[in-house]
Amino acid sequence: MNTDSLKKNDILELTFIDMSYEGKGVAKVDGYPIFVEGGITGETALVKLDRVEKKYAFGRITELLIPSQDRAYVKSKDLALNSTIPLQHVSYSRQLELKTKIVEDAFKKDPMFKNVLVNHIIGAENEWHYRNKTQVPVRKVDDAMEIGVFKHNSHQLIPVNNFKINALGIDEIVVGIRDILVEFNEKPYDARTNTGNIRHIIVRHGQNTGEVMVVLVTRSKSLFPQSKIVPAIAALSDNIVSIVHNVNPHKTAAIMGPESKVVYGKDTFKEVILENTYEVTAESFLQVNTPQAEVLYQTLLDTLQLDGTEVVLDAYSGIGTISLSLAQRAKEVIGIEIVEEAVIVAVKNAEINDVSNISFIAGDVIEGIKELSLKPDVVVVDPPRKGLESSFIDDVIALSPEKIAYVSCNPATLVRDLKPFVSAGYSIDSVQPVDMFPQTTHIESIVLLVKSSI
C-alpha cells in the first residue's frame, strides 16, 4: 500500500504487533506506524484514521475482528474517553507484562544499557479501588452542577460518579459534597470566563487509619452559607477529621491556589506506612497507593541492605516518608526538600515517631547538597518526572557515595540520568519496577547503582 495515499477517515483492517508506552495498540502499514486507542498486541480490527501525519497516524477501533485473550471487560467507557484508566481493557497480568516491557525498552534504546536486566514488575494486590486521593473538577453540564473528568485534550467535562480506582468510600463522599453544594445553591466554576465558584472537590484518605480530609477549592473567598455547608459535609462520614477551604482565583490549570483555611477539624490527617505515622497536610505529596507505597519503600530498603553504619542522603524528601523508613536501618539520614512547608511537616513526623537520627535541609537539592556536614555513604533520589538536574548529578558523583538508589516515575528520564553515573564508574546492580498505578501506564522503578571497586 502507498502510505502517502492514507487520509483521515480511511478505514483499514489492521493487526496490532505491539503496544506503545501510552498503552495504544501499534500496527504498521509498509513500515508506517498507526497508533490505536484500545488495541492489544495480536488483535485484528477495523480502524478508522482520526489523524494522519507524515511519519505516523492515529486511529480508533470501529470493529474488533479478532480479540485478544488478554482483553478485559471495560468498567467505564466515560473514563476511557478521559484516559484516566487507559489500560482498563487489558487483563492485569498483561498490564504487568506491558509495564515491564516499557522499562526494558527504555533501557534498550540506549546502547550503554542494552544488556541491563530489568526484573519483572511487582504487581499490586488491588488493581481497583486503590487511590487514597481524588481531585475532581466541578463544572456546569446541561444547566446542572456535575463532577467528573475532562475529555482527553479538552475542557469538556464528562459527568462521572464512580471513578473505579478510588478507595472505597471516597466517591460517595465526593457525590455527597456535590449534592450539598447544589442544595445550598453554590455555582460551579466556568473556566472560559473565570466565573462561578466551586472549582474542585479533593478527598484524601488515610487507608491505614481511616481518616479523611476534604478540600474545597473555590474561585472566590466565599463559601456561603459556610455555617451550613461545612457541618453538612462533616456529617457525611465519621472519618472526616479535616475540611480545608482553598482559594484559587486565577484563570489557570493549577488545581489549588495559594490560600488555604481550615474550616473544620484539624489541618492534617494521619496515615501509617511501614509502622511510621505521618501527618499529611492538604498540600503534602503522598504516594496515592498506600499499600504499594509500603511495597515500594520495603523494596528500597531490601535493595539497599543497610547495616546501620551508613549516613544516608534522601534528596527530594517531601514530608519524610522515605527518610523515616531509611532511618529504621541507617546510622543517620539527611533529607533535602525545596518545599518549606513539607520540611516543617517532615520534622513533625520525625518527632511523632520518636526518630532522632534524622535531620532536614529546606532548600533546592542543588544548594542543599552543598550544606552537608557529613559525607553520605548512600544517596537516595526520588525526583519529579523531569528527573535530575545535571549539576546535581555532578555533585552526587563528587560525593562518591558507595551506593545510589534512584526511585523514578519516568523511565525515559531515569535512563537519561543514569548515563553520567555509569560513565563516572558506577554500575547498575538492579532495576526493579513497581506497579503503583494499575489500569494506567504510569510506572515506578528502583535502580541501585554501586560504585566500582576498581
Q: Is 397 helix (H, G, I), strand (E, B) or coil?
A: helix
**CA 86 – CA 439 distance, rounded (Å):** 6
**CA 221 – CA 246 distance, rounded (Å):** 8
Catalytic choice (230, 282, 378, 409): 409
Axis-axis angle for helices 411-423, 92-108 (nearest 10): 40
Q: Are 40 and 68 in contact (CB under 8 A)?
A: yes
**CA 27 – CA 34 distance, rounded (Å):** 5
Minimal CA–CA distance to 314: which of 343, 289, 273, 294? 343
**CA 296 – CA 122 distance, rounded (Å):** 9
Residue 52: strand pairing partners: 57
Report how far Cα 371 is from the mean position of its chain's Cα atoms. Answer: 30
Find the angle CA(264)-CA(267)-CA(268) to the nearest 5 degrees: 120
- Catalytic residue check, 84: no
**Length of the chain counted residue by residue:** 454
Question: Cα-atom radius of gyration of the chain, to the nearest Å?
Answer: 24
**CA 421 – CA 415 distance, rounded (Å):** 10
Minimal CA–CA distance to 285: which of 132, 122, 82? 132
DSSP code string of 223-281: -TTHHHHHHHHHTT-TTEEEEEEEE--SSSS-SS-SEEEEEEE-S-EEEEETTEEEEE-
Stated as kind and residue range, the H or E segment containing 381 is: strand 378-381
226: its cell numbers: 459556610
Query: In 9-141, which residue ranges form alpha helices assigned H by DSSP?
Result: 77-82, 92-108
- Angstrom distances, CA of residue 429 to CA of 41, 130, 178, 380: 31, 31, 50, 15
List all residues 6 or more positions away from 338 whose beta carbon is below 8 Å from its beta carbon: 362, 363, 364, 365
First to last CA, the chain: 56
- Catalytic machinery residues: 409
